Structure 1
Amino acid sequence: MLRKRGSIILCGTLLFVTWNAILVLFLWGRPPSGQPGEPGREQRELEKEPAADMMADMLRMADTFEAELEMQKKILLQIKSHRSVWELPDKKGQKATPSQPVIPILVIACNRVTVKRCLDKLLEYRPSAELYPIIVSQDCGHAETAEVIGSYGSRVTHLRQPDLSDIAVRPEHRKFQGYYKISRHYHWALNQVFKTLSHSSVVIVEDDLEVAPDFFEYFRALYPLLKSDPSLWCASAWNDNGRENYVDTGKANLLYRTDFFPGLGWMLLRELWDELEPKWPASFWDDWMRQPEQRRDRACIRPEISRTITFGRRGVSLGQFYDKYLRFIKLNSEFVPFTQLDLSYLKEEAYREKFEREVYSAPVVKYEEVKQGQLKGPGPFRLQYSSKDGFKLMAKNLGIMEDLKSGVPRAGYRGVVSFMLRGQRIYLAPPPGWTQYDPTWS
């Protein structure tokens, strides 16, 4: 059924491209005169320039449509070609779904009708409805949003968080009521996924995220690594410093370990939820995840180029960081066949040794040299910090995220933040011999 649907989509795309080409050729080749009711010479002269402009506009429009369709066709072909990796022939030679783990996508929704943008992209790029069921959990009881979600019918499962009451909080926390409700919603929704529906893993996205073409491929490839490496506790689609000029656009396949919990499109296993659920916090769940008591020296996987972007400026955080950072995050557009790559380099011991060797063998440079663009060569270069204030000052002035959570910098690994600047790799790093984070750095 899935293969048939993919073929229909591809055929429709090809027919649409062909129709546009025929239309352009028809308009281009249409005879200019000789038909009854032809306007006189003077009128033709008056209409000549507007007609030419109209023809040019139509040709440009046709070119734009064709280019866009070619790009979408290429993406769909890539997804279809890699779908065969997840299908094995049965004894009769027909295609059958193998006993592969189901990875549900949990969409956390509230009162944004723009959840449609999120769901449209998930459905467009999803290679298998069976392997990736989409579950939308809605809080807030917002009727218009519920109507949008309901319009997708059986393509998504629509859950409604039943407790919409206000939460009793301390007087000074009344302005944070929204954060309390979000934490309550996450707790309920994850229990539905793991305890009611009995899934073994989940990828969480929020209703203001758009995903990349290889979003599903990315998490499918990281699932076995997450299962086998106890030093990992999540995989995230997000790079906190993933703005256009701060990533290596030629390395869409590059992945990192990070000590910072990124969120914004992330996978966890049922075993982790069994650990976290009994002590789940009443509010600010994401910062709670970043505390040493929860992280327990475990890392997440994150990409060089993000597989999600956020389009939700308005929310309970009132657009914190959005205008300065989040709106400029680059979304990956290249399909990377992660399930066919060897990702063993991400395992803890091998990764740490190689990463530290590369960082601390890089030449140390001065902040002024980096800031003024005086470095020669592609790098990498090491820019050293030794205090909280030193890190914050350099990070802010170089344009990367400056805040720390329980002492851990965003996208950092063993205190090191890796980013690109003017096409050169920079490691903002503590001195050699780093041992642990200082939780007072915040």
Structure 2
Amino acid sequence: MLRKRGSVIFCGTFLFVTWNAILVLLLWGRPPSSQTEEPGGGGEKVVVRPTNDAVGAVLRMADAFEAELERQKKILVDIQYHQSLWDPSNKDRPKAVFPSQPVIPILVIACNRVTVRRCLDKLLEHRPSAELYPIIVSQDCGHADTAEVIKSYGNKVTHLKQPDLSDIPVQPGHKKFQGYYKISRHYRWALNQVFKTLSHSSVVIVEDDLEVAPDFFEYFRALLPLLQSDPSLWCVSAWNDNGRDGYVDPGKANLLYRTDFFPGLGWMIRKELWEELEPKWPASFWDDWMRQPDQRRNRACIRPEISRTLTFGRQGVSLGQFYDKYLRYIKLNTEFVPFTKIDLSYLKEEIYRENFKKEVYSAPVVTYEDVKQGQLKGQGPYRLQYSTKDSFKVMAKNLGIMDDLKSGVPRAGYRGVVSFISRGRRIYLAPPPGWTQYDTTWS
């Protein structure tokens, strides 16, 4: 029945177009009304040719008919395309989606890893809508095998190629960091494509070695309004730096935090932030640059208790730094959390800060030995206090959480506090009460 109906529509379209074409030809060949016949001296009738003005009028009329013909053809094509939407026999079939919600593109930063397939497969598996979440793969390096992998996805993804593959002049001591310079150049180019060329208002950036969780898209969709409305936020990240199995609460997949540390590894920003950062974008080490006070400007990111991304790329310009000790053990969320149906107003700065301070500093103080030896009684939470850079680093390292600081900010920290699970109990590794600011010499 559907095939027959489609044939009828096609035949109707063909006849309609043909008739209009014939009409145009007839009008083209018909003498305009401005032509007249006058008797000649020998009794013959002499045809008076049209003036240039008359010829121009005919040509303009033909152009108008041609334009109308094209418009009618487009209307018929649109009718044929959307016929399934109003055909009663198709009421149970998937309908075309016309976005009424903000479009959030996913920008995949790729280079020379053919394993980008794993990243793209998971994105496509969990993506709820191609219209709302277009996938843009920006490839640097010019690696042919990786390009072929990306090309194999056809129109499921948009494949961009960074055009400048030249080496970047660097000072002699930085020659070994050439890869970091190229990455920074690529990020700048790719983000300009998303925001300036394609005119998107927000973007989620993932690297080609990340696998995403089932609620990855739901997570960012729910948090976009908060990012838009709260000027004290500048990004949303899918990553918990201390999110290893055993260091997070498996029953709190819906738990979210504010953090002063820029996490990266699956993160969302808005166009307005890029317009602020792009003019001063660094030549290299862009992620550490993002963690400096001049860029952060006391703004926070949102991060989850349980990561919504997992990195599987040990090899890269960082030569596996932190991978074997920390990153390979990050727990990827497997439970779908309907974040768009949850009230997330508790993450607003004025609400979150007071509640967080109250919970942390009302928790009983315990010693490092109590935590390390598992001698805590009760459910917690507990507070473990540090007062110097060295005391923080010693306790963090020995308790198994990341001990490095960037401009004085600990990974996953908020107001100097790092939250994690130790032997099934919530621990807040925290500075003394009355904390006011980070010491940028702690790096």
Q: TM-score, normalised by structure 1?
A: 0.79
Equivalent in the alignment of 1:406: 407
Query: Distance between the aligned counterparts of 1:203 and 1:99, measured in 2?
Result: 19
User: 2 CA distance for matches of 1:97 and 1:278?
Assistant: 35
Q: Which amino acid aligns with 2:295?
A: Q
Give the superposition deviation at 1:95: 7.4
2: distance between equivalents of 1:95 and 1:128?
Answer: 10
Q: 2:82 aligns to what?
A: none
1:28 equivalent in structure 2 = none
1:363-410 Cα distance to aligned partner (Å, 9 max, x none): 000111111110011110000000000000000000000000000000
1:304 to 2:301 alignment: no
2: CA distance, partners of 1:191 / 1:115: 22
Q: Which has the larger radius of gyration?
A: 2
Tell me whether 1:340 sits opposite 2:375 in the alignment. no
Aligned to 1:190: 191
Mind listing any 5+ residue stretches in structure 1 that lack a counterpart?
1-88
Note if 1:431 corresponds to 2:432: yes
Question: 2:239 maps to what in 1?
Answer: 238
> What secondary structure sits across from 2:243 in the alignment?
coil
2:155 aligns with: 154
SS at match of 2:337: coil
Percent identical across equivalent pairs?
85
The aligned counterpart of 2:31 is: none
The CA distance in 2 between the partners of 1:276 and 1:95, in whole Å, is 37
Write out aligned runs for 1:312-331 (5 A): 312-331=313-332
Note if 1:179 corresponds to 2:180: yes
Cα gap change, 1:284/1:190 in structure 2, threshold over 3 Å: closer, same or farther? same
The whole-number CA distance in structure 1 between the counterparts of 2:331 and 2:96 is 37
Q: Secondary structure of the residue that 1:288 maps to in structure 2?
A: helix
Does structure 1 residue 280 correspond to structure 2 residue 244? Answer: no
What amino acid is aligned across from residue 378 of structure 2 in structure 1? G
Aligned in 2, Cα 1:104/1:400: closer, same or farther, shift over 3 Å? same
Cα deviation digits, residues 218-238 of structure 1 (max 9, x gap): 000000000000000000000
* 1:294 is aligned to 2:295: yes
SS of corresponding position for 1:393: helix
Partner of 2:126: 125
The CA deviation at 1:188 is: 0.1
Q: What is the aligned residue count?
A: 353
SS in 2 for 1:419: strand
Kindly report which structure 2 residues correspond to 1:363-402, keeping only aligned pairs within 5 A, or say none. Answer: 363-402=364-403
**Superposed displacement of residue 97, structure 1:** 2.9
Instruction: Determine the structure 1 residue equivalent to 2:75.
Output: none
Counterpart Cα distance in 2 of 1:260 and 1:252: 20
| Amino acid aligned to 1:134 | I
**Conservation of the 8 A alpha-carbon contact between 2:99 and 2:131:** no
Matched residue of 2:246: which SS? Answer: helix
Q: Deviation string for 1:314-353 (max 9, x for gaps)?
A: 0000000000000000000000000000000000010000
- 1:393-440: per-residue Cα shift (whole Å, max 9, x none)? 000000000000000000000000000011000000000000000000
Matched AA of 1:368: E
Question: Aligned to 1:244, what secondary structure does the other structure show?
Answer: coil
For 1:120 and 1:95, how far apart are their aligned partners in 2?
Answer: 22
Query: Separation in 1 of the partners of 2:371 and 2:177?
Result: 40
Deviations, residues 282-320 of structure 1 (Å, cap 9, x unaligned): 000000000000000000000000000000000000000
Residue aligned with 1:136, SS:
strand
User: Which segments of 5 or more consecutive residues in structure 2 lack a partner in the other structure?
Assistant: 1-84
Distance (Å, rounded) in 1 between the aligned partners of 2:376 and 2:177: 45
